[in-house]
Amino acid sequence: MTAVEVAPTSAKAQPRIPRRKMRPITLEVIGLAVGALAWEIVGLAKVSRFLPPLDDVVGRIWDLLQSGQLREPLTQSLSNLLIGYAISVGIGVTVGTLMAVSKYVDYALRIYVNGLMATPSILLVPILYVVFGLSSFTLIAVIVLYATVFIVANTRSAVLGARHDLTEMSQAFGTHPVRGFFEVTLRSAGPEIFGGLRLGMGRAVKGMFNGELLIAVVGLAQIERTYAGAFDATGILAIALTILIIAVALTAALEALNRALNSWAVSHSRPSS
Amino acid sequence: MVERDVMVQVDRVSKSFIKHAKRGKVDVVPVLREMSLDIHRAEFVSIVGPTGCGKTSVLRAIAGLLPIDGGRIVVDGREVNGPGRERAMVFQDPTLLPWASALDNAAFGLKQRGIRKVERRARAQEALDLVGLGHRSGALPQELSGGMRQRVGIARALAVDPSVLLMDEPFGALDEITRRTLQDQLVRIWEQDKKTVIFITHSVEEALYLSDRIFVMSHAGHIIETISDLMPRPRTREQESSEEFVMLRAKIWEALS
């Protein structure tokens, strides 16, 4: 019989303590810092006169804020954005849900949703201008046009893919189908619906700027147009950076809301046993 | 007329599913064909049979979740037309609300019945204690193991204090050790208040260990064998190797083959 050699166990053997992982927010900050540093270096190297260093651009934003030049256009743009986005959410979630629950509504509207998703929204902006004229109503309509269809498509897909086993369970316990739909089906689709809302927010920001640029030349686009006419690269990038900050801040706010409402889907707890 | 001690009467129940075939044609697939069975008050019955024989369909019909095409189902003297307060179901998948704690999941049925918050939380906690999960009442489903989740599903059904407990392969997806633990727990709970239990399973051994009576189904709800003379209670795991258990198991397998 062959003896089996057993490796001696070290008396000092200790369980391996896993290294502490970096938090996602830390990684995001590092990513931003690296990008900012790269921009600053390229800007200082004067690779192109149209790419000034980052600190010049940030300084211009600060000057615009200090002088009050940014306040009114920013307020105008943001209020249009928030009104347009709120309308998009209302229409998008309602229509998307109706498409998911009724095949008749789905058949009737699917072609429009698919068509609008494939068509560049910018092509339809002049039509809105003709219909609504030169007013902030047109700018809001452009935002709605840009954002709504993506919210509709995502809501439809979220409700169709919701946990229907939970709906049946709720019915087994005597829940009224309508109550079960709102309390169980729609709730289980919540995280996916929020995915569409985030996408819609990005589209709404695009719609806000394109609308201002193409129709009224007001708000942030008005300042942008002025800088573009003067070939002022620092000014152009200052407005672009402002819009980027608005988009990131609003998306982060939505994400925070998603985490608060749907923490069960966002958390990644492991089963205990 | 339903006999006094009959709790659930399935009387010549038929159910077919319509399958849409090519060129606008439809195929009618019968899942229950004039099926009849009586289940007595406080009885623990199991229905065993191969996949697709209609076990789950008959249970869902009794639960009121599956409308039937013909015949009638009577539970506690009342004809079934939909889900009812006297019945509660435990699903194969625990189907817990992922956003709700174990306590809120266990209280779900009570909430739907309009029970006040304080009372429903107390009753749900009691049900969780009964299944040995009282200490994890604040945990979300994703923080619980498969066996624990299934116990929350059982607690949810027990919390509403139904006369009839409908269990659709509740331990089917669990490992053998957890399955046996939950079987023992179920027997203990059932012996406390003797609810009428209809238990669907693939496992012949599980049915023999738990039941007073076993219906063996073949296809479309056709009962090919009813085994009544099972081992006396209380039962032990040691009995699983007894001659009586082996003979009963062979009898069921013979009917199934």
Q: Is the pLDDT of residue B81 over 80?
A: yes
Instruction: Tell the residue number behind the tokens 């009813």, with chain if given.
Output: B226
Q: B3 CB contacts (<8 Å, ≥6 apart)?
A: B38
- Residues of chain A contacting residue B154, judged by C-beta atoms under 8 Å apart: none
**8-state DSSP, A151:** H
Q: B99 CB contacts (<8 Å, ≥6 apart)?
A: A187, A262, A263, A264, A265, B140
Compute the average pLDDT of residues B222-244.
90
pLDDT for A93-102, tens place per residue? Answer: 999 999 999 9
Tokens of A143: 């935002």
**8-state DSSP, B213:** E
Each domain of chain A, given as residue ranges in start order, spans 83-261
End-to-end alpha carbon distance in chain A? 40
Q: Which of A172, A188, A269 sits opposite B63 (nearest CB)?
A: A172
Residue ranges in B107-229 assigned as alpha helix (H): 108-112, 117-130, 146-159, 176-193, 204-210
Tokens of A127: 């039509």
Q: How far is A133 from chain B (nearest CA, A)?
A: 47
pLDDT of residue A89: 97
pLDDT of residue A270: 44
Question: pLDDT: is B173 or B58 the higher one?
Answer: B58
**8-state DSSP, B181:** H
Q: How far is B234 from chain A (nearest CA, A)?
A: 30
Question: pLDDT: is A2 or B188 the higher one?
Answer: B188
pLDDT of residue A272: 42
Q: How confident is the model at residue B4 (pLDDT cuts 50, 70, 90)?
A: low
Beta pairing, strands B196-201 & B164-168: parallel
Q: How confident is the model at residue A267 (pLDDT cuts 50, 70, 90)?
A: low
Q: Which of A172, A264, A267 sits opposite B89 (nearest CB)?
A: A172
Q: How many CA atoms lie within 13 A of A263 on its CB side?
A: 7
Helices B176-193, B146-159: crossing angle, 10 deg rounding:
20
- Residues of chain B contacting residue A272, judged by C-beta atoms under 8 Å apart: 139, 143-145
d(CA B197, CA B249): 21
Instruction: Tell the residue number behind the tokens 């940014």, with chain if given.
Output: A70
Residue ranges in B33-172 assigned as alpha helix (H): 55-63, 102-106, 108-112, 117-130, 146-159
CA angle in degrees (0–180, nearest 5) for B210-B215-B217: 130
Q: Is the pLDDT of residue A202 over 60?
A: yes
Whether residue B77 contacts residue B7, with contact meaning beta carbons closer than 8 Å, is answered with: no
Residue B54: how many other CB atoms lie within 10 Å: 23
Q: How confident is the model at residue A164 (pLDDT cuts 50, 70, 90)?
A: confident
Q: Is the pLDDT of residue B26 over 90?
A: no
Q: Does B231 touch chain A (CB under 8 A)?
A: no
- Residues of chain B contacting residue A169, judged by C-beta atoms under 8 Å apart: 89, 91, 95
* Residue of chain A whose Cα is closest to the Cα of B149: A271
B117 backbone dihedrals φ, ψ, rounded to 5°:
-55, -45
Interchain proximity B83–A171, CB inside 8 Å = yes
d(CA A47, CA A52): 9
> Which burial class, exposed, middle or buried, applies to B239 when counting CB atoms under 10 A from its CB (0-12, 13-18, 19+)?
middle
Whether residue A172 contacts residue B90, with contact meaning beta carbons closer than 8 Å, is answered with: no
Helix (H) or strand (E) holding B164: strand B164-168
Residues above pLDDT 90, as percent of chain A: 56
pLDDT for B152-184, tens place per residue? Answer: 999 999 999 999 999 999 998 889 998 999 999
Instruction: Tell the residue number behind the tokens 């004039």, with chain if given.
Output: B34
Of A127-136, A159-168, B102-111, B243-252, give the lowest mean pLDDT range: A127-136
Compute the average pLDDT of residues A30-42.
92
Q: Which of A166, A174, A263 sits opposite B95 (nearest CB)?
A: A166
Report CA dihedral (B69, B70, B76, B77) to the nearest 10 degrees: 130
d(CA B17, CA B61): 13
Beta pairing, strands B223-227 & B213-217: antiparallel
pLDDT of residue A26: 85
Whether residue B6 contacts residue B41, with contact meaning beta carbons closer than 8 Å, is answered with: yes
Q: Does A174 touch chain B (CB under 8 A)?
A: yes
Q: Is the pLDDT of residue A1 over 70?
A: no
pLDDT of residue A269: 43
Average pLDDT, chain B: 92
What's the one-letter identity of residue B153? G
Interchain proximity A264–B148, CB inside 8 Å = no
d(CA B205, CA B158): 24
Q: Which of B113, B143, B145 sits opposite A174 (nearest CB)?
A: B113
Tokens of B36: 């009849």
- Residues of chain B contacting residue A181, judged by C-beta atoms under 8 Å apart: none
Whether residue B216 contacts residue B183, with contact meaning beta carbons closer than 8 Å, is answered with: no
β-pair partners for B68 = none
Whether residue B156 contacts residue B106, with contact meaning beta carbons closer than 8 Å, is answered with: yes
Whether residue B33 contacts residue B57, with contact meaning beta carbons closer than 8 Å, is answered with: no
Q: How confident is the model at residue A37 (pLDDT cuts 50, 70, 90)?
A: very high
Chosen from B110, B112, B178 to mutate, greatest number of chain A CBs within 10 A: B112
Q: How many CA atoms lie within 13 A of B134 on its CB side?
A: 8
Q: Does B85 touch chain A (CB under 8 A)?
A: yes
Compute the average pLDDT of residues B45-58.
93
Task: Give me the CATH code for the A83-261 domain, please.
Answer: 1.10.3720.10
Strands laid side by side in the B164-168 sheet: B87-90, B164-168, B196-201, B44-48, B213-217, B223-227
pLDDT of residue A11: 55
